[in-house]
Amino acid sequence: MSLLDAAKDVRERAYAPYSNFKVGAAIRAASGAVYAGCNVENVAYPEGTCAEAGAIAAMVAAGETEITEALVIADSPLPVSPCGGCRQKLAEFSKGSVPVTMTTLSGATKVMTMAELLPGAFAQAHMEIG
Ligand code: THU
């Protein structure tokens, strides 16, 4: 299945009664398998989770830890941009060269690499004691 089809499909099941902004995310892992997730909001607003987090959780639950490409979709005027927290979550499992496609239901699309989305990402190397 393509990332676009997977993200569009899962987006329809997003639980977003508070923002009414449904998001779908799909990631391809090293095996070639596609994992999808949608945003899941909560009446205690900060407890809601983003679509990207759901897709990453599905990938890790399936035993994979390397993202080779990612796509995020929403019904928005501009290609939906992963939030700062999701950029860090994606970076945990992605090389800087991994392409992230941001798109809309009407087809407005922008592609950026992980390194472009999160320059200077906090990484393991920052924790090494010199
Ligand atoms: N949201 C995502 O799921 N992913 C993004 O990349 C941007 C924002 C969700 C969080 C919240 O449920 C809704 O969109 C509005 O912020």
Residue 34 is which amino acid? V
pTM, entire model: 0.95
Tens of pLDDT, residue by residue over 106-124, are 999 999 999 999 998 888 8
Residue 23 CB less than 6 A away from ligand 1: yes
**pLDDT score, position 5:** 98
Residue 130 has pLDDT above 80, yes or no: no
Out of 2.60.40.10, 3.40.140.10, 1.10.150.120, 2.40.10.500, which CATH number does the structure's domain 3-127 have? 3.40.140.10
Residue 38 CB less than 6 A away from ligand 1: no
Rounded to the nearest integer, the mean pLDDT of the chain is 96
Q: Cα–Cα distance between 41 and 23 in angstroms, integer? A: 11
Residue 125 has pLDDT above 90, yes or no: no
Return the residue whose CA atom lies nearest to atom 14 of ligand 1. Answer: 21
The length of the chain is 130
Q: Taking residues 60-68, report their average pLDDT.
A: 98
Residue 40 CB less than 6 A away from ligand 1: no
